[in-house]
Structure 1
Amino acid sequence: MTQELSFQIIDTHAGGDVSRIVVSGINALPGETVRDQMEYLRDDADGLRTLLLEEPYGIPEMSVDLVVPPTDPQAQAGYIIMEVMGYPIYSGSNTICTATALLESGMIPKYEGRQQFVLESPAGLVQIEANVENGVVETITCEGLPSYIDTYRATIHVPLIGDVTYSVAYSGGFYALVDATELGFELTRDEESRLAHCAQAIVEAILQERGFSHYSLGDVGPLPFLHFMGPVEQIAGDHYRSRSATYVHPGVICRSTTGTGTSARMALMHHEGRMQPGDRLETVSLRGSSFVGSFTRVSKGGPHDVVENTITGKSYVLARSQIVVNPDDPLVDSSQLRHILTSHVPRG
């Protein structure tokens, strides 16, 4: 007799990016903060991430969010973000998806109209505002991480592409920001594969040349992301719109524009004097989905002007299901997973 292992998930998407929200079936993780628990998962239980992002259960374009009890009394729930490149400390789309799943599942009570609550991410507390209409979560507005420009218009030679001008922002991870038009892109869906190959080449060239360090957090890992920027259109006095595309991993262009990518773009526009507190930036993806970033205020972080911001988007529930893991399945490696699962179903 073998032991099937199981846990419960809610599949969601925001702007086309699928986030699998693990809501039960996982043991309490060690750690005094959600950041500590994230580091435990990363170092001692990475099997949950790899199981849900690899065949036969998932694909690399997905994300995973594990709901955990909060360690800060101000928060109603905690969550840990897992993506194909590892464990980012923050993500706008994952936050929007997790907040929606918590409300739609009843894990956080849902009220008609606007309601506010707090989640605890590995980056710290996140203020959430949900807009509920006729019992449906229509939008989630979440805090973006304070964002700043680390490098402005540097140039690097990229094999097979040539000299590329780029800026680097921090918005929860380090982002290379490049002008899509300068590289010959119009940011249409048929360009997705070429965008991914181009971004990978640029990121690899930057990584070979230099590293980056946050002014207060220090080493937060190598630069993983690249954001293609389309032309900016002014819709109203305080409302801007731009087509965008975000690269996160070899072969992977996000289906949404990403929250952290939108925050990074706002930091650059402020650095260039093109955006001020009170302004909004709507970033539009290759698939036509969008997030709206709101520039709330400027603060000082070390030597940097730091853009504080919020991200607004909508998430949809796709499925509520139970994942069953059979340890005898030759395509599944549960060795880094079994010790954190609480549910065991005997099989004859």
Structure 2
Amino acid sequence: MRSLRTLSVVGCHAEGEVGDVIVGGVLDVPGKTMYDKLVHFQTQADHIRQLVLNEPRGRSSMNTNVVLPPCNPLADAGFLVMESEEYAPMSGSNIICTTTVLLETGMVPMKEPTTKLCLDTAAGLVGVTADCHAGKCRAVSFDNVPSFVARLDLPVEVPGLGTVLVDVAWGGMWYALVDAASIGLDLDNKYGARLVEVGERIKRAVQAQYTPIHPDNPSIRGVSILSITEPVQDGLHGKTAKNAVVVSPGRLDRSPCGTGTCARLAVLHARGAIGEGELLRHRSIIGSEFESHIRGTAKVGEYDAVLPTVKGRAWITSYKQIVLDPEDPWPQGFRVGDQWHVSVDPGA
């Protein structure tokens, strides 16, 4: 078969969120850090992201990760997260997918009952603990980079909604968090289109009015993702909460969202609503769940930060090769508005 490009990919999802992993066909790129490599892909090799994520090979509700040699000598592997609109510095569901693929394909040796490894990400080094049995990676727990709040109750003027209060927090990506009831919404699957529409509108308003900057890497700036939340409930076995994370260009994360969980832990801790060691079961729009807790505190620049740990599961779904025929008229794919949803009317 003729092909300008052949990529070996392992299909995977973490609690419903697709996070395929490229394991072959992409060479390493220059960079002293994984963030440098992220910038290289973004500026010099973005055709790879477009090839695998745009139609007809991809779809709006998926991510793809690429495994690369690490920059940090303490890491077992490095990886970058490619999403529809950006290269995320870090992603919880994607690190769970990538760890599962690394272990179940033998790229990193699996040790039962527990495998410990470190992955180099564009947000920093992340420690991972995998529960393993009978050749299967049963669950993955990751010790994320420090998470912190930039603003609480930030008033944002949103077309069609008026003043909306949002919290802005770092969890590996810059999040805006908004209470569902405050904008008249329920976190029910049947309201998915409305959640996306309103969520994207709020996100665009935040982007226009406030720009958080990470103190350790000023190049990481600006909110790119939004979490719509419901109140935390106390239970016999810890706290539970639900959220719906709106990912651009307009869809809902199928998982509870790992970095979103970390951002929410930072907000809850800043408000005195959760302490170190307390369990938070964070649920998604489809009812899937991540377990999480704060393992300690830290300082990031002027910000008081928490050290979050999140645990979830992933499953391999396919082994495939993605190819590019030299006569394919869409070498970087395409998008159609019925699935790649962005309103042209900010007040709609």
- The alignment's TM-score, normalised by the length of structure 1, stands at 0.92
Distance 1:255 1:162, change over 3 A: same
Per-residue CA deviation, residues 262-304 of structure 1 (Å, 9 max, x unaligned), is 0011111101111111112111111010111111111122222
Aligned partner of 1:343 in structure 2 is none
Q: Do the aligned partners of 2:125 and 2:145 also contact (CA within 8 Å) in 1?
A: no
Q: Do the aligned partners of 2:81 and 2:91 also contact (CA within 8 Å) in 1?
A: yes
The residue correspondences of 1:27-66 to structure 2 (distance < 5 A) are 27-66=27-66
Per-residue CA deviation, residues 186-207 of structure 1 (Å, 9 max, x unaligned), is 2110111100011111111122
Aligned partner of 1:320 in structure 2 is 319
Give the length in aligned residue pairs. 333
Aligned partner of 1:80 in structure 2 is 80
Whole-angstrom CA distance in 2 between matches of 1:268 and 1:305? 11
Structure 1: 5+ residue stretches without partners: 335-348
Aligned partner of 1:278 in structure 2 is 277
Q: Do the aligned partners of 1:144 and 1:259 also contact (CA within 8 Å) in 2?
A: no
Whole-angstrom CA distance in 1 between matches of 2:287 and 2:111? 30
Aligned partner of 2:344 in structure 1 is none
Aligned partner of 1:179 in structure 2 is 179
The residue correspondences of 1:190-339 to structure 2 (distance < 5 A) are 190-236=190-236, 239-333=238-332
In the TM superposition, residue 252 of structure 1 has moved relative to its aligned partner by: 1.2
Per-residue CA deviation, residues 125-145 of structure 1 (Å, 9 max, x unaligned), is 211100012321110001222
In the TM superposition, residue 3 of structure 1 has moved relative to its aligned partner by: 4.3
The residue correspondences of 1:96-175 to structure 2 (distance < 5 A) are 96-175=96-175
| Percent of aligned pairs with the same amino acid | 33
In the TM superposition, residue 181 of structure 1 has moved relative to its aligned partner by: 1.7
Aligned partner of 2:337 in structure 1 is none
Structure 2: 5+ residue stretches without partners: 334-348
Q: Do the aligned partners of 1:277 and 1:297 also contact (CA within 8 Å) in 2?
A: yes
Q: Do the aligned partners of 1:179 and 1:228 also contact (CA within 8 Å) in 2?
A: yes
Q: Which moved more, 1:304-313 or 1:68-77?
A: 68-77
- The alignment's TM-score, normalised by the length of structure 2, stands at 0.92
Is 1:26 the counterpart of 2:26? The answer is yes
SS in 1 for 2:120: strand
Whole-angstrom CA distance in 2 between matches of 1:200 and 1:177? 12
CA RMSD of aligned residues (A): 1.6
In the TM superposition, residue 241 of structure 1 has moved relative to its aligned partner by: 0.5
User: Which letter does structure 2 place at the counterpart of 1:320?
Assistant: Y
Per-residue CA deviation, residues 306-325 of structure 1 (Å, 9 max, x unaligned), is 01011100001000111121
Whole-angstrom CA distance in 1 between matches of 2:287 and 2:2? 47
Whole-angstrom CA distance in 2 between matches of 1:285 and 1:87? 22
Distance 1:64 1:229, change over 3 A: same
Specify which structure has the bigger relative contact order, considering alpha-carbon pairs within 8 angstroms and separated by 6 or more residues: 1
Q: Do the aligned partners of 1:327 and 1:333 also contact (CA within 8 Å) in 2?
A: no
Whole-angstrom CA distance in 2 between matches of 1:255 and 1:291? 12
In the TM superposition, residue 216 of structure 1 has moved relative to its aligned partner by: 2.7
Per-residue CA deviation, residues 184-233 of structure 1 (Å, 9 max, x unaligned), is 22211011110001111111112222222123322413211111111211
In the TM superposition, residue 2 of structure 1 has moved relative to its aligned partner by: 5.3
User: Which letter does structure 2 place at the counterpart of 1:187?
Assistant: L
Whole-angstrom CA distance in 2 between matches of 1:69 and 1:220? 22
In the TM superposition, residue 121 of structure 1 has moved relative to its aligned partner by: 1.2
Q: Do the aligned partners of 1:145 and 1:260 also contact (CA within 8 Å) in 2?
A: no
Whole-angstrom CA distance in 1 between matches of 2:34 and 2:164? 38
In the TM superposition, residue 124 of structure 1 has moved relative to its aligned partner by: 2.1
Q: Do the aligned partners of 2:245 and 2:260 also contact (CA within 8 Å) in 1?
A: yes
After TM superposition, what 4+ stretches of structure 1 lie above 6 angstroms from structure 2?
none
Whole-angstrom CA distance in 1 between matches of 2:268 and 2:58? 36
User: Which letter does structure 2 place at the counterpart of 1:244?
Assistant: N
Whole-angstrom CA distance in 2 between matches of 1:26 and 1:211? 33
